[in-house]
Amino acid sequence: MDLFKRISSGCSTSGATSCHNTTAQSDLCCFESPGGLLLQTQFWDTNPSTGPSDSWTIHGLWPDNCDGTYEENCDSSRDYSDIAGLLEDQGASDTLSYMQQYWVDIDGENEQFWEHEWSTHGTCYSTLETSCLPSGSAKGAEAVAFFQTVVKLFKTLPTYTWLADAGITPSSSKTYTLSTLTSALKSASGVTPALSCSSGSLDAISWYFNLKGSLIDGTFVPIDAPESGSCPSSGIKYPLKSGSGGGGGTSTTTSGGSSPTSGGLPSKAHLTASTSSGSSTGGLLSAGTWSTQTLATYTLSGSASSFTMSTSKGKCAVSSGKLTCGSSVSSASSFSAVSSGGKLLLAYSGSTAWTADGSPSGSTQETVYTGSSHSNDFTLVIASA
């Protein structure tokens, strides 16, 4: 379990609540200031989908100032990298396992996402200053405590379940009023959150808190959202995550994903790796690397006989036998799709053979090469996203 290594702040939780003090507080290790208005933000990602089909996912825990303004990137000297390694090294592998399922990036870049949330928001907590930690704490212990706290808090906020208990579930056809959604959540939680929408579809939620004591082990006091989110008052869609069933989509592909381009090629796809034994082991991230983390969404343009690919990072190309996607790629390579055993395989120069020096696990990423000249050979299956 994580808890045996969890650090203690030594702070009382019976003192003033953040943003509600009547006198100036001198011990900011035990009183969160100026960022005493905390938002636990969650995503409902559907295009592409992230996380389980029956759960929202973690975005972060943000320390807004009491007046709604905020600070970011407060201490670049503590912009830690390899968050996964930090958690494992300090006995928080349970927290890491949970994050790999529920705190996931829409482009599959989990590590960069966690690093961003820590450096942008985590470094701004007064109660997580290194001077507030017990003497002898390992380097990065305050970041480990941050991720543990966010996970612990998120587990108390089952947005999907609370909506489902009120008969509100994702659908391709139903719409809801804002008051129906917020009433269901207030009935379950006791407070009103802020709901955010994109093009009329629910995609994020913010749960607000004040804090008594330290972020490490203090008490979160739920409060009503001080401002409303971006959803309209009615006609709100709660879309299905792809693969979550329920049907009713307008897609013409058999896998319920995006509409195909000409020749049966999906316009949006995940590229999953299939080894010679037939087992599926992860797939490609947005830079073109092979990983077992959440897969990136590739945009395919053209027909099955000749198409180009791009990701959130940029165009994709093969150069000197190596696959790369990113801003450094000036000219996209042409790929093709080959049907094999009911699957659509990615091919370059007519060959569906891809290879790497190793097989990825955890947060490792392997460079992908064409052909079969390295130790691990595989094919890349084009799966509609």
Q: Which amino acid is at 132?
A: C
32, 115, 121, 142: the active-site residue = 121
Active site residue 20: no
> Which residue shows structure tokens 């299939």?
274
- For residues 162, 43, 242, 369, the Cα torsion angle rounded to the nearest 10 degrees is -150
Report the alpha-carbon distance of residue 185 to residue 80 in Å, rounded. 35
Residue ranges of E strands in the chain: 37-43, 57-64, 175-176, 194-198, 201-212, 219-223, 236-237, 268-275, 280-284, 290-291, 298-303, 306-311, 314-319, 322-326, 336-340, 343-347, 354-356, 369-370, 376-384
117, 142, 270, 366: the active-site residue = 117
> Of 27, 204, 241, 209, which is closest to residue 194 (Cα–Cα)?
204
3-class DSSP state for residue 275? strand
The number of residues making up the chain comes to 385
Report the number of secondary-structure helices (H) and strands (E) in the chain: 6, 19
Active site residue 117: yes
Query: Does a cis peptide bond (omega within 30 degrees of 0) precede residue 134?
Result: no
Phi, then psi, of 74 in degrees rounded to 5: -90, -15
Report the alpha-carbon distance of residue 31 to residue 36 in Å, rounded. 8
Active site residue 116: no
What tokens were used for 98? 């949970």
Q: Which residues are part of the catalytic machinery?
A: 59, 117, 121
